[in-house]
Amino acid sequence: MTISKPDSTSTQMAVEAAESAEAVQRQIDRCAPLFRALGERLRALDPALVVTCARGSSDHAATYGKYLIETHLGLPVASVGPSVVSLYNTDLRLKGALFIAVSQSGRSPDLLRLAAAAKQGGAFVVAFVNDEASPLAATADLCIPLCAGPEISVAATKSYLTSAMAFLALVAEWKQDAVLRRAVIQAPAILAAAAELDWTPALLGLADKTGLYVIGRGLGTGAIMEMALKCKETCRLHAEAFSAAEVIHGPLALVGPDFPVLAINQDDATAAATRAAIARCVALGGPVYSSDDGVPGVIALPSLPGLAPELAPLAAVQSFYMAIHTVSRRRGLNPDVPANLRKVTETV
């Protein structure tokens, strides 16, 4: 697959984000047998509960995975805070559960302790990890490499998308779902096309703002959390992610001419309700940037037509990545080296 790369003046963040399609293709080529074997193992195990453990962008990918697993398999998914074990020293009772740890580095002490406790507590531990030589990879019963390749920019991009794709491949094989399997195969081409869509002219409207909401719903929840994080870490722009259902309660009071909204949507059971929430934001007079142009008055963000609902949020994140680094530059910042942050964060 050939995708166009940013020019030599682009940030490292943009260069790495543009590699996402190739990284996902590597994951498909290398890990398809692992996902098939995992799907077979999970059908035999038949867990009644799935537990995830992650932080930052990895946790946003886990949130995407939560919605996939709950909507396609009907299994509850819980995110357990690592401090439950690392600081509170709790013994976990997870006999027969599936435990999924997601990490780029696989080295944070709290995550490692939680994964070890889950294994001790009877869970089947799976790691989605980019660093295959990491302690997390060694701890897990099964390690599936993200195949993102080196990621130098502090702001994660391709490791987020490959983590999300790992969940999509997992669910496709666990459920033996032909539609989801087709979505997995289509993903590299979709991400490559999404990287070519230009959200920059619209999102430059955020350059002089101090805050915004990022809204979506269902399968888009992980994506809006990831977008809000990137606004904070690369642009020092305070962004809060809210469900399109939740925002119409108290948070809507802030929306107005000086408080914008970034909204995404996907063509599934949540689409109409999300569109109604977008319309309410438009009516309040705030700038509303949206990949769903079905609401009059939004500032349209280019999107690919006819996407599977499982792929639409990932495509939106890909397009967003290719623009937000320019917003950061316009605000006088370096998105590759955000203030107060470093690439590998180790917490206890």
Instruction: Tell me: pLDDT of 6 over 50.
Output: no
> By mean pLDDT, which of 9-13, 44-48, 206-210 is the weakest?
9-13
Q: Where in the chain is the domain with CATH 3.40.50.10490?
A: 12-195, 197-330
Average pLDDT over residues 172-182: 98
How would residue 341 be classed by pLDDT, with cut points 50, 70 and 90? Answer: low
Say what the pLDDT of residue 166 is: 98
Coil, strand or helix: which one is 102? strand
Average pLDDT over residues 199-215: 96
Say what the pLDDT of residue 184 is: 98
Task: Mark residue 34 as left, alpha or beta (left: phi above 0; alpha: psi -120 to 50; beta: remaining).
Answer: alpha
Instruction: Tell me: pLDDT of 343 over 60.
Output: no
How would residue 154 be classed by pLDDT, with cut points 50, 70 and 90? Answer: confident
Percent of the chain surpassing pLDDT 90: 90
State phi, psi for 54 to the nearest 5 degrees: -170, 165
How would residue 250 be classed by pLDDT, with cut points 50, 70 and 90? Answer: confident
Say what the pLDDT of residue 304 is: 98
Instruction: Tell me: pLDDT of 133 over 60.
Output: yes
Q: Comparing C-alpha atoms, which of 68, 31, 35 is closest to residue 312?
A: 68
Say what the pLDDT of residue 248 is: 87
CATH number of the domain at 197-330, please?
3.40.50.10490
Q: How many CB atoms lie within 10 A of CB 334?
A: 16
Average pLDDT over residues 220-243: 97
DSSP, res 4: P
Domain covering 12-195, topology: Rossmann fold (3.40.50)
Say what the pLDDT of residue 348 is: 58
What is the C-alpha separation between 112 and 307, in angstroms, rounded? 37
Say what the pLDDT of residue 60 is: 98
Instruction: Tell me: pLDDT of 99 over 70.
Output: yes
More confident residue, 261 or 336: 261
